[in-house]
């Protein structure tokens, strides 16, 4: 239906259009380019008009993280606006994270005014000359699906609908739109637009049926098939079909470096996150939405092993180099492809063979669970606190109404997550600083859920904690942040030890640029923003402290933080 709404400016028309398209939140880190937007917000609020809720984020990392967190929980893109080229530069790490994690976000930025005089919105601050670049979109173009600069108000419907549709089309990802101040200031009498929109993302597709039948034949006749999944749980509806496929074959699922809950950890065919010991003898291997299912420099499947890759883009075509075999690629929505593959397999499998495999892998699951429990029990009294024990305590304290946001340090061998959409980890790009903002966005998206954010102290620093804690309090977002404080960037140390295990750094214990001591009292940063926050050094009181922190966020509706002092590797 064609609608017509009275407006005064392109900025006002823009907000009207966003609201009509289901955009609920406008995450902003404002600058001089925001003036027309702020004026439009004031007018429409005074008149009682529907608006996307404006969310002030005092740093771009927080803004883009919150939009990412909202998108990963709901699958719906929201809007981020940052300040011209400098704000875009600050947001770039978050944009890269969103690109590799396939998070749909409409990232917008002001553009320094085009004109020096004679137009409303023309340059009137000294920064307006230095903040212009020859091609602002070039800064992000490699990591967004689409970018454009709004030329005139009459384009708004086309541009906004195209941006949102491309962002939501698979593989999903961020898009980038620049908004010159003169264009936003353009006088308009009304906005005409279609509601619902005439442009949307294409419908989900399934892989070619003939290819699915071929994959079913390979799996049904396979000697020792296994499944490796990483991010198929980005679509919560893909979890049940993956379970159906594993059960139809009686084979294990490994969620290697999982970014989402792909398969219930409580399931008898779940065998953890490390498929490496099984690679040499597995055939065929089903790889589901996994960009790096193993590390060829360390260990690979046998040269004759058949590799079946399933995903929206099994070739990961936006990666410059990726040499993993794709003997059979099934491109399409995993939820549809996996469901069809499970049915095709059921028509072919030998029941006795499935039962034998199932018993074998269920025994392996029990060994995995026992080893995981023994790992944490062995260190539960250690001082400083071992991360395995901290992870076990978190795993036992949370329930099915909890969403876990994990930026590195939570050891998922110690958890029993089973609900689709209950676990999110950092992007494969691993731009640190994502977790604090993403947890706030998750809370916005799921206000009835308990959000637990696990970060290392290095990731906490990257996450602009002053900005994140301010946003939590200002926008009433009670999240529990748990800092796994080992006072070092351990990923750097591990990299050095694997690169040169007998080298100078390992022999002398000299790890330049990796140490984070002296460590601040991070709990005081949170308290300064009105959060409940405590330092924990005693492993014996840790379970009670976690339960107390959870009561604070659940019952008192107050943000909380635990600074847990862990072993330094």
pLDDT of residue 50: 83
pLDDT tens figures, 50-66: 899 999 999 999 999 99
Task: List beta partners, residue 253.
Answer: 227, 270
Residue 347 CB: number of other CB atoms within 10 A?
10
> Quick one: tokens of 366?
């029990």
Rounded Cα gap, residues 40 and 44, in angstroms: 6
Sign of CA dihedral 554, 555, 558, 563: negative
- What's the number of CA atoms in the CB half-sphere (13 Å) around residue 359? 5
- Cα dihedral 29, 30, 33, 39, rounded to 10, equals 130
Rounded Cα gap, residues 526 and 520, in angstroms: 12
* 147-149 β-sheet, strand order: 53-56, 25-28, 79-82, 106-111, 175-180, 147-149
Rounded Cα gap, residues 327 and 348, in angstroms: 21
pLDDT of residue 542: 98
pLDDT of residue 247: 99
The residue to which tokens 């949102």 are assigned: 164
Residue 191 CB: number of other CB atoms within 10 A?
21
Burial 399-438 (b: 16+ CB within 10 A, else e): eeebbbbbbbbbbbbbbebbebbbbbbbbbbbbbbbbbbb
> Quick one: tokens of 504?
């100078």
**pLDDT tens track of the chain, all 569 residues?**
999 999 999 999 999 999 999 999 999 999 999 999 999 999 999 999 889 999 999 999 999 999 999 999 999 999 999 999 999 999 999 999 999 999 999 999 999 888 889 988 889 998 999 889 999 999 999 999 999 999 999 999 999 999 999 999 999 999 999 999 999 999 999 999 999 999 999 999 999 999 999 999 999 999 999 999 999 999 999 999 999 999 999 999 999 899 999 999 999 999 999 999 999 999 999 999 999 999 999 999 999 999 999 999 999 999 999 999 999 999 999 999 999 999 999 999 999 999 999 999 999 999 999 999 999 999 999 999 999 999 999 999 999 999 999 998 999 999 999 999 999 999 999 999 999 999 999 999 999 999 999 999 999 999 999 999 999 999 999 999 999 999 988 888 888 888 988 889 889 888 888 888 999 999 999 999 999 999 999 999 999 999 999 999 999 999 999 999 999 99
- Exposed, middle or buried by CB within 10 Å (0-12, 13-18, 19+), for 321? exposed
Task: List beta partners, residue 108.
Answer: 81, 177
What is the separation of C-alpha 344 from the centre of its chain, rounded to a whole number of angstroms? 32
- What's the number of CA atoms in the CB half-sphere (13 Å) around residue 342? 20
- Exposed, middle or buried by CB within 10 Å (0-12, 13-18, 19+), for 504? exposed
> Quick one: tokens of 488?
């070092």
Distance in angstroms between the alpha carbons of the first and the last residue of the chain: 62
Task: Spell out the alpha helix ranges (H) of 102-208.
Answer: 127-130, 156-168, 181-185
Cβ 424 vs Cβ 259: under 8 Å: yes
Can you tell me whether residue 107 is helix, strand or coil?
Answer: strand
φ, ψ at 243 (rounded to 5°): -60, -45
pLDDT of residue 84: 97
Query: Minimal CA–CA distance to 86: which of 48, 112, 67, 62?
Result: 112
What is the separation of C-alpha 10 from the centre of its chain, rounded to a whole number of angstroms? 32
CATH topology match: 209-369 vs 378-565: yes
Can you tell me whether residue 351 is helix, strand or coil?
Answer: helix
> Quick one: tokens of 43?
């007018």
Rounded Cα gap, residues 86 and 130, in angstroms: 10
Rounded Cα gap, residues 253 and 233, in angstroms: 13
φ, ψ at 564 (rounded to 5°): -95, 120
Query: Minimal CA–CA distance to 162: which of 178, 179, 147?
Result: 147
2-194 classified as CATH 3.40.50.970: yes
What is the separation of C-alpha 535 from the centre of its chain, rounded to a whole number of angstroms? 28
Task: List beta partners, residue 308.
Answer: 286, 328
Sign of CA dihedral 27, 30, 34, 35: positive
Cβ 295 vs Cβ 316: under 8 Å: no
Rounded Cα gap, residues 466 and 458, in angstroms: 14
φ, ψ at 25 (rounded to 5°): -130, 145
The residue to which tokens 């498929």 are assigned: 275
Classify 378-565 by CATH class: alpha beta
Secondary structure E strands in 29-74: 53-56
CATH homologous superfamily of 209-369: TPP-binding domain (3.40.50.1220)
pLDDT of residue 88: 98
> Quick one: tokens of 459?
């990731």
Domain range annotation of the chain: 2-194, 209-369, 378-565
């Amino acid at each position: 239906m064609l609608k017509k709404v009275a407006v005064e400016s392109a900025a006002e028309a823009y907000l009207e259009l966003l609201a009509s398209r289901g955009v609920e939140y406008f995450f902003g880190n404002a600058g001089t380019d925001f003036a027309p937007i702020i004026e439009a917000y004031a007018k429409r609020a005074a008149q009682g008009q529907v608006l996307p809720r404006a969310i002030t984020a005092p740093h771009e990392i927080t803004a883009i993280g919150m939009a990412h967190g909202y998108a990963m929980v709901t699958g719906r893109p929201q809007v981020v606006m940052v300040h011209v080229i400098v704000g875009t530069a600050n947001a770039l790490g978050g944009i890269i994270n969103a690109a590799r994690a396939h998070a749909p976000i409409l990232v917008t930025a002001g553009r320094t005014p085009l004109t020096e005089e004679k137009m409303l919105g023309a340059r009137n601050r000294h920064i307006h000359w230095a903040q212009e670049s020859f091609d602002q979109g070039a800064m992000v173009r490699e990591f967004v699906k689409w970018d454009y600069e709004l030329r005139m108000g009459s384009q708004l419907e086309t541009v906004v609908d195209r941006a949102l549709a491309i962002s939501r089309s698979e593989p999903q990802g961020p898009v980038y739109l620049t908004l010159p101040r003169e264009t936003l200031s353009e006088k308009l009498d009304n906005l005409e637009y279609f509601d619902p929109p005439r442009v949307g993302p294409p419908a989900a597709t399934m892989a070619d049926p003939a290819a699915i039948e071929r994959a079913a034949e390979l799996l049904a006749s396979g000697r020792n098939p296994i499944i490796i999944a990483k991010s198929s749980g980005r679509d919560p509806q893909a979890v049940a079909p993956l379970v159906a496929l594993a059960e139809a074959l009686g084979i294990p699922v490994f969620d290697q470096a999982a970014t989402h809950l792909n398969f219930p950890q409580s399931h008898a065919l779940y065998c953890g996150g490390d498929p490496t010991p099984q690679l040499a003898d597995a055939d065929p291997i089903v790889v589901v939405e996994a960009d790096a299912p193993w590390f060829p420099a360390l260990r690979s499947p046998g040269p004759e092993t058949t590799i079946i890759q399933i995903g929206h883009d099994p070739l990961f075509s936006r990666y410059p180099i990726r040499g993993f075999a794709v003997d059979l690629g099934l491109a399409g929505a995993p939820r549809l492809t996996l469901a069809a593959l499970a049915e095709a397999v059921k028509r072919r499998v030998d029941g006795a063979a499935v039962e034998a495999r199932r018993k074998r892998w269920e025994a392996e699951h029990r060994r995995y669970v026992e080893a995981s429990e023994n790992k944490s029990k062995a260190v539960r009294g250690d001082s400083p606190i071992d991360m395995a024990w901290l992870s076990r305590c978190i795993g036992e304290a949370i329930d099915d109404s909890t969403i876990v946001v994990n930026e590195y340090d939570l050891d998922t061998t110690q958890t029993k997550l089973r609900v689709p959409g209950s676990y999110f980890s950092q992007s494969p790009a691993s731009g640190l600083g994502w977790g604090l903002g993403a947890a706030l966005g998750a809370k916005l998206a799921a206000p009835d859920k308990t959000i637990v954010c696990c970060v290392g102290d290095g990731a906490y620093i990257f996450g602009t904690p002053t900005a994140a804690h301010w946003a939590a309090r200002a926008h009433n977002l009670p999240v529990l942040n748990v800092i796994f404080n080992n006072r070092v960037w351990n990923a750097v140390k591990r990299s050095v030890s694997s690169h040169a295990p007998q080298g100078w750094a390992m022999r002398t214990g000299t790890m330049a640029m990796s140490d984070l001591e002296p460590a601040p009292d991070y709990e005081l940063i949170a308290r300064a923003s009105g959060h409940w926050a405590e330092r924990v050094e005693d492993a014996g009181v840790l379970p009670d402290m976690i339960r107390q922190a959870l009561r604070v966020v659940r019952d008192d509706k107050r943000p909380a933080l635990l600074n847990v002092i862990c072993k330094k590797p």
